[in-house]
Structure 1
Amino acid sequence: MVEMENNPKKMMWTTLAMMAFSTVWGFGNVVNGYVYFDGTRVIFSWIVMFLLYFVPYALMVGELGATFKNSEGGVSSWVTATMGAKWAYYAGWTYWACHVVYISSKGTGGLRAMAWGIFGNTNWYDALPTFTTQLATLAVFLFFCWVASRGIPVLKGLATVAGTSMFIMSILFIIMMFAAPALNPHASYYSINWNWKNLMPTFNAKYLTSLSILVFGVGGCEKISPYVNKVKNPSKNFPKAMMALAIMVMVSAILGTFAMALMFDPKVVNNNLNEYISNGAYMAFDKLGQYYHVGGLFMYIYSWCNVIGQFSTLVISIDAPLRMLLGSKEAKEYIPKRLLKLNKHGAYINGIWMVIILSGGLIVAQALLPNAQAVMAQLVKLNSTTMPMRYLWVFAAYIALRKKQQKFAKNTTYQMTKHQGLAYTAGIWCFFVTAACCIMGIYSPDPFTLFLNIITPIILIALGIILPAIKKHQDAKLS
């Protein structure tokens, strides 16, 4: 152990905390929280979500990562080891299926970012008929499906650069916004009402059906699991890194919310929800530029970082989840052979066609919405109810791990707690919160949005069940 702790290749816990922070958090989470939860009233919800959900979630991920340190498949590998190959297939399928909606939103988000980057606003773009904007989105989506089919790796590097720059701009926004009143005291700022009532949410149907936005915002820390054993003395330093992560995210959410409160009146936001959901981040950077007398400079930088980020993430989201699903050991046993076909560039070409049909179908269906802002708002909500479904497998794997404690305990370098009852409670609690938020998030007062929120998960789940049945039928014909 002494040798490991003195190993210069082992990273400091502070390094891991910063890596995790840049992976989990983004400025969009601050904007969504502010818009959906009535301004500063979101702060109470952020604090509760961090303490009762995010901290145990991160610590469970740490234990799973430390136990299965040699597994490179992430959640699917954990489920394989703890629950078996068939459940691992369903975990892999869920991870892929969640990205069907996410892929649709990246094309829409990229075009919106491009409109801001070219025109400095989206007045022209939002005035276009929805059919036209969705046709453009479909064309962009099909182009990047072609890029993914050619195995072109350059955009993956761009995604890292864009992600890093977006993270830096998110932090700079908070710092510069708090400095702005001192540098430009005569600009128009809103005063923050520190009354307790303005910091506490209203617990109504709108609140409950929006909680999935917060779960979606703090999720995804399982991506850092491969680094658990790369930290010096993981049993001591990993929880320290996760606590630091939780504090940084909480501080960023709270300060970011107060920065937004100086710029935007919650009453105006509530009366123009779709506009602020679609454009809030750009409007914030635009105002920041006005405070510093540099016009739209910050907004243009943010827009073009976002263009690169959205489109490069689109390619990665078409390619990476598909490789995780079809390249796994479980694929040959549960997925029809035709879907496993590789083209000369090493891409799963029939899998990409499946993405085209499903994500393309969703893009076409959204042409029925009234305008481009409604499409963006609908995608944010749909993503918040589908993407967190993949977190359920993290908690299921953790509960299964603790059930087989005697088998796996000797393999791990870190445990969240040695108390079995506390471990079970944490796993079941996080599973329940995630499932409840996903289910409640489906509701929408708009009938078409409600229909899409219901039918999309049903189609994806049904397809995940049908594929093994097709494979079984094919095997029976051959035998």
Structure 2
Amino acid sequence: MDNLQTQKKYLTWPILTLMAFVTVIGFDDIMYNFQNQGMTVITSWILMLFLYVIPYSLMVGQLGGIFNKEGGGLSSWIRGTNGEFLGYFTAWTYWAASIPYVVDSANSVVVGFGWAFTGSGKFQNTMSNAAFTFWTFVTFIVFIFVQRRLKNSMEILSTIGGGMMFLMTILFVLLAFVGLAKTGGHMATQPMTWHTIIPKFDLKYWSTVGMLIYAVNGCELIAPYVTQMKTPKREFPKAMIALAVMTAFLTIFGSFALGIYFDAYNLPNDLKMNGSYYAFAALGKQFGVGNLFMYIYAWTSVLYMCALLAVLLDAMTRMLISDTGDHYMPKFLQKTNKDGLPINGYILTCGLSAFIMLLGIFLPEMNDIFNWLLNLNGIISPGVTCWIFYAFMRVRKNSAKYPSEYIFIKNDRLAYFAGLGLLVVTALATILGISPQDVKLFSNTWWYELVINIVSITVLIGLGAILPSVRKREEKYGIAFDKTQWYLIFALLILSIIFNVWLGGTKIALRGLYILIESIIAILVIWLIAKQTPKISEK
């Protein structure tokens, strides 16, 4: 009886594999990269699996084992190897990277409801960019209010939605091959030869690698569970190899299955936003069930994305406030209500999300907004992943100081250079990813997206560098800003919104330049305000 109770405490490697799989890959990840690279993405997936996913996962396993007493989170790895400030800044960048993700998730909720209710993407033709942005923001507000009451329910729904999404993906791949056999091997992608899947390693290709990394990262979320295995040294590599096999099946065969229904040489421009629905509609048509598969997928997507959005909005804000260090995070952002909810943290989340949405509202079409937000994730998310490899390098530089039951590559020097290699690749993918995707090179829209990419990254990451200075003002004066200073900052934000609305009437070629100038002026004004000593009112 005692032995049975002891066994229940351990996590088996198949369970860990499934937990990791949910965080790593999904059907939309395959669709996004299929549009970026076409059938050549099959080769890219194979290279990514062996040269990136497996070593990345095993490095995460060792880091999780070393810092298991601190929860095994990314910020604790950096804090444990580089000190408190860099730990804080890592937590901030990890949080900042989730802002475009939740905005993209809210967009997906709006798109999913459109398909679920209308059975087509025609509603997008009648919805303006302003309406799309408005409903996205309404989605934010609704879920911030409901997550407090339905938080546990949403976590359950997200598990159900995630499981259903996985089953729908497997169903699509299997039925696609059954359908291929029924048609005698006919594919929409023609000609289909070995040359079809060989990438052309040019600048355009390398600028899309960031989206591949964005698709497969997230494995660090399972790091805290490494120490819950009975024999991590033997079982964890098994789990990661199994993860690689499952990911290989889904990405390689899933991409091939997409080539059955879509001509990889002539893909729809809105494939990233609507491709999943097109795919299941085509599958249903082939098997004579009409739009049945599409409707099932649409409601599965809505269920999953709604639950994910609610959990993310709560979890990311709580993580930021609780895991960034009291010495660096301003007190007014740590303020909670009677239920322990970080109210001002939610306001900051909504404010930055609105800022991101406002930048995208001036793009030509709704599809451009969706694609831009998605590609912004492909820049920021890989950039945050760089911290993982940096922490691993620090650990292997002084391995005696950081003992672990599980070790990836026994030779410290070899392990160090393995971490360095992945760090360089990820950093280059992040930098090259700043180049806009899905638009004509050097067109007016391309230049506009380039500017708002730079502005978004600067604001999201730069704000994290400013907040410790705000905290110092609180420590020195008792408050960060007085009422007059807060009014000036608020007025600056209102004027910025009005100015951005006015930009809607200008040519897109000038909008990016205006936004860049506006951002520089706003930073200068806030700096001047911060130079003034706050006036403390006497009680």
Q: Give your verdict on TM over 0.5.
A: yes
Deviations 1:23-42 (A, max 9, x none): 211111211121110x2211
Question: 1:61 maps to what in 2?
Answer: 60
CA contact (8 A) 2:190 2:263 kept: no
Question: More displaced, 166-175 or 148-157?
Answer: 148-157
Corresponding residue number in structure 2 for 1:115: 114
Distance 1:457 1:191, change over 3 A: closer
- Partner Cα separation in structure 1 for residue 130 and residue 54 of structure 2: 43
In 2, Cα distance between equivalents of 1:73 and 1:250 = 27
Distance 1:404 1:187 in 2: 56
Q: Distance in 2 between matches of 1:363 and 1:347?
A: 25
Q: Which residue of 1 aligns with 2:260?
A: 262
SS in 2 for 1:70: helix
CA offset digits 1:138-161 (Å, max 9, x no partner) = 222222233346674422221111
**Which runs of structure 2 are paired with 1:190-339 in the superposition (5 Å)?**
190=188, 193-269=191-267, 272-273=268-269, 275-328=270-323, 330-339=324-333
Which residue number corresponds to residue 434 of structure 1?
Answer: 426
Please give the secondary structure, in 2, of the residue aligned with 1:333.
coil
Q: What's the counterpart of residue 45 of structure 1? A: 44
Q: Paired residue for 1:344, among 338, 347, 371?
A: 338
Q: Aligned partners of 1:403, 1:169: CA distance in 2, in Å?
A: 44
Give distance in 2, aligned partners of 1:99 and 1:278: 19
2:448 maps to 448
User: Is the 1:74–1:223 contact (alpha carbons within 8 Å) kept by the matching residues of 2?
Assistant: yes
Aligned residues of 2:71 and 2:224 also touching (Cα < 8 A) = yes
AA in 1 matched with 2:311 = I
C-alpha distance in 2, partners of 1:187/1:46? 23
CA contact (8 A) 2:189 2:263 kept: no
Cα pair distance change 1:320/1:151, threshold 3 Å: same
Please, which of 346, 362, 370 is the counterpart of residue 376 of structure 1? 370
Offset of residue 378 of structure 1? 0.9
- 1:89 is matched by which residue type in structure 2? Y
Deviation, 1:186, is 8.0
Structure with more relative contact order (C-alpha pairs < 8 Å, separation 6 or more):
1
Residue 390 of structure 1 corresponds to 384
After the TM superposition, which residues 124-203 of structure 1 pair with which residues of structure 2 at under 5 Å, given as runs?
A: 124-148=123-147, 152-182=151-181, 184-185=182-183, 189-190=187-188, 193-203=191-201
**After superposition, what is the alpha-carbon deviation per residue over 1:46-98, rounded to whole angstroms, capped at 9, x for unaligned?**
11111111111000001011122222251112222222111110111011100
Contact 2:277–2:298 at 8 Å: present in 1 too?
yes
SS in 1 for 2:207: helix
Instruction: Pick one of 376, 397, 404 that aligns with 2:398.
Output: 404
Which residue of structure 2 aligns with residue 423 of structure 1?
415
Q: Does 1:86 align with 2:85?
A: yes
The TM-score normalised by the length of structure 1 is: 0.93
Q: Which moved more, 1:219-228 or 1:203-212?
A: 203-212
Q: Quick one: percent identity of the two aligned structures?
A: 35
Q: Report Cα offsets for 1:195-219 as digits up to 9, x if no partner.
A: 2221111222221111111010110
Structure 1 unaligned blocks of 5 or more? none
Pick from 341, 364, 368: which aligns with 2:358? 364
Offset from partner CA, 1:168-211 (integer Å, 9 cap, x none):
111121111111234x4389743664522211112222211111
Change (3 A) 1:148 1:463: farther
| CA 359–478 in structure 1, closer or farther in 2 if over 3 Å, else same | closer
C-alpha distance after superposition, 1:441-460 (max 9, x if no partner): 01123122111211111011
Q: C-alpha separation between the residues in 1 aligned to 2:347 and 2:226?
A: 36
* SS of alignment partner, residue 343 of structure 1: coil
TM-score between the two structures when normalised by the length of structure 2:
0.83
Query: 1:112, CA displacement in angstroms?
Result: 0.4
Instruction: Give the direction of change, closer, same or farther, for the CA distance of 1:212–1:473 in structure 2 (3 Å limit).
Output: same
Q: Quote how far apart the aligned CAs of 1:309 are.
A: 1.5
Bigger Rg, which one: 2
Check the 8 A contact 1:187/1:291 in 2, yes or no: no
8 Å CA contact 2:101–2:377 kept in 1: the answer is yes
Which amino acid counterpart does residue 423 of structure 1 have in structure 2?
A: A
Aligned length: 469
> How far apart are residue 385 of structure 1 and its match?
0.7
Superposed displacement of residue 415, structure 1: 0.2
CA contact (8 A) 1:336 1:468 kept: yes
Q: Does the Cα contact within 8 Å between 2:72 and 2:223 map onto a contact in 1?
A: no
The answer (yes or no) to whether the contact 1:31–1:280 under 8 Å persists in 2 is yes
Contact 1:169 1:302 (C-alpha < 8 Å) held by counterparts: yes
Contact 1:54 1:246 (C-alpha < 8 Å) held by counterparts: yes
State which drifts further: 207-216 or 386-395.
386-395
Q: 1:347 to 1:281 in 2, by over 3 A?
A: same
